[in-house]
A and B are shown apart, each in its own frame.
Chain A
């Protein structure tokens, strides 16, 4: 039974990080209407900013997280202004190519500046709780709590504030949003900023139990794509539920069937869900 609950914990840890990254991806999808392939690289930059603020500048974990969120939000806005905004009237394929270009640029730039080596980010929360045979490292608790509270805050922001409502309106119907006088530029920049900040916080939460290196984004971005397809492109509950589904599938599939096959299990599940509900679990008006 211990082992079962251990897998529940693993599934929650993975699922909450996947969900957080997928959330950023799904939000930007509402603006771009194409998946932002650069999101994984943005996540990676977030991890590097936190790492450097903590290790090289010696600030504490939370300051580093805030710095990373701010820096990456700025970087995302910059991408929007310099790349995606000028392309807003171009065919969607241009956005895709531009996103891939940004991804390659960021990875190459980081590798050139800081090298390809693996780095380990320290965390102040190194305690390991052992409760009834269950191993619970403090950092993992932090990941789960941090991710879920961030999701809750985001939900409240989108549903309860006027600024949040403009983002939702824009994602649901672009022309309609223009007609009621929503400033598209402002909303686009804000969405990119939120998406970048989410990725940076996710990276800072997750990096201490993993490693920091230039291609670290690939791992999560593949999963995040699966998640937003699974949950429905542009759907926020879809990203969260999708993240948890993939997280639990990996944990339980990996444990009870085979670690080698955990990705296959996740993709098989995707096929099953899409054949039952081709638009994803939670799709609304957004295409």
Chain B
């Protein structure tokens, strides 16, 4: 047994040496602050989840490379702890518990409404700030005190989308969007607005964008009702495919595109902007051309071989900077209530390049306030209009 004890002894000595080295390292380096993330990192929505995580990671790397950020007398480095929830609310809740208990994260980011609702069940009790990347208005309207909705709500888009599409193409709407919760919610809120403006719904045929091998059947069913405008939307690429197949089947009208899909990414699949003529949707960040967005786009393209950043990347990048600014304004990295309360003050200190969408402030309920631009495809080009301009006409 002698050999055994020597090995044990060796391990013990190694462990001691390691611990000392670790302790010495920590004394010199910054404190590490864990920030949680739960989102889809595998399965059909993996790309979306990875994009959101990429935004957070990009901001964290920048902050760490600049020597961390100071709150009080301490300087902190950020570590993003990411867990996969496969887009499932119940897994998001499990991940949330794990992040808080195991990693002590004062802030958790999640990129879907289902996960947000699941985490809201215990975020006030467990004292963590929920940074939610979803434009579903109810996530902030339920009165949860520790929730921040990062993007603007989609309800602001409904009237201008209706006005633009109806004026140009006509009053008959065919519904062919996706079937997930967010899409259903959109349909439920969009249809009354369309009808209030004097329109009718001639076909209502949502399709599962992730589980359909082909959209010809579903699209031809909608087109059989001869709509003037098609309401489509889900993840960008399948949405592009739906638009493409609608054109192949002879559809000449316009598209109202749910804000989840981005016109620029759709065009790659649909066969260019020409195929999307008459579409109205949200604006790709690269076409914003504000000082903040240009700086961000340039930085992102440089780091990613010229690939254009998506809104998921940009909003989450902003979200982490906003959180850090709020922590500094609150003078605390772990009191979620204080951080939430200082968010508005923090936003005023944020520089433009960290705020690509030009978020102005945050409302009482926790929704970020911004005057978003919308994109209209006219003569094969993207034309940008701000929401307030369209409604002023």
Name A residues whose Cβ lies closer than 8 Å to a Cβ of B.
3, 6-7, 10, 13-14, 17, 107-108, 111, 115-118, 120, 128, 130, 135, 137, 206, 209-211, 213-215, 218-220, 223, 250-251, 254-255, 258-260, 262-263
Contact = CB atoms under 8 A, between A and B. Distances in A.
A219 B46 contact: no
Nearest to A137: B248
Contact of A223 (B213, B220, B224, B249): B213
Interface string B17-47: 0000000000000000000000000111011
A128 B241 contact: no
22 contacts: A3-B224, A7-B217, A10-B217, A10-B220, A13-B214, A14-B213, A14-B214, A17-B213, A115-B47, A116-B47, A118-B238, A135-B248, A137-B248, A210-B213, A210-B214, A215-B42, A215-B43, A219-B211, A254-B221, A258-B205, A260-B205, A263-B211
A251 B208 CA distance: 14
B72 interface: no
Interface in B151-208: 179, 205-208
Contacts of A220: 213
A115 B310 CA distance: 15
Given A116-B50, A128-B248, A254 B217 contact: yes
B250 A135 contact: yes
B222 to A, nearest CB: 9
A214 B47 CA distance: 10
Contacts of A258: 205
A120 B250 CA distance: 21
B303 to A, nearest CB: 15
B218 A254 contact: yes
A250 B215 CA distance: 11
Contact of B221 (A118, A128, A223, A255): A255
Given A120-B268, A211-B238, A259 B207 contact: yes
Interface SS of A by simple majority:
helix
B47 A118 contact: yes
A20 to B, nearest CB: 13
Contacts of B248: 128, 135, 137
B11 interface: no
Contacts of B211: 219, 263
Nearest to B205: A259
A135 B47 contact: no
A144 to B, nearest CB: 13
B259 interface: no
B269 interface: yes
Interface in B44-82: 44, 46-47, 50
Given A211-B269, A259-B206, A251 B217 contact: yes
Contact of A215 (B44, B213, B218, B241): B44
B214 to A, nearest CB: 6
Contact of A118 (B207, B214, B237): B237
Contacts of B237: 117-118, 120, 211
Contacts of B43: 215
Nearest to B217: A254
B220 A118 contact: no
A211 B209 CA distance: 11
Contacts of B218: 254, 259
A141 B203 CA distance: 29
Interface string B239-263: 0010000001110000000000000
B220 A6 contact: yes
Closest 10 interchain pairs by CB? A118-B237, A116-B46, A254-B217, A259-B218, A116-B47, A10-B216, A117-B47, A259-B207, A251-B217, A120-B269
Contact of A260 (B46, B206, B220, B268): B206
Contacts of A108: 42
Nearest to B222: A259
B50 A115 contact: yes
B383 to A, nearest CB: 25
B326 interface: no
B235 interface: yes
Given A10-B214, A259-B206, A262-B217, 6 more contacts: A7-B217, A120-B269, A254-B218, A259-B207, A259-B221, A263-B211
A24 B15 CA distance: 54
B241 A210 contact: yes
A207 B23 CA distance: 55
Contacts of A13: 214, 216
A214 to B, nearest CB: 7
A2 B220 CA distance: 11
A163 to B, nearest CB: 33
A213 B42 CA distance: 11
A259 B178 CA distance: 11
B269 A118 contact: yes
Contacts of A215: 42-44, 46
A250 B217 contact: yes
Contacts of B220: 3, 6-7, 10, 255
A244 to B, nearest CB: 14
Nearest to B44: A215
Nearest to A254: B217
Nearest to B211: A219
A118 B43 CA distance: 12
Contacts of A130: 250
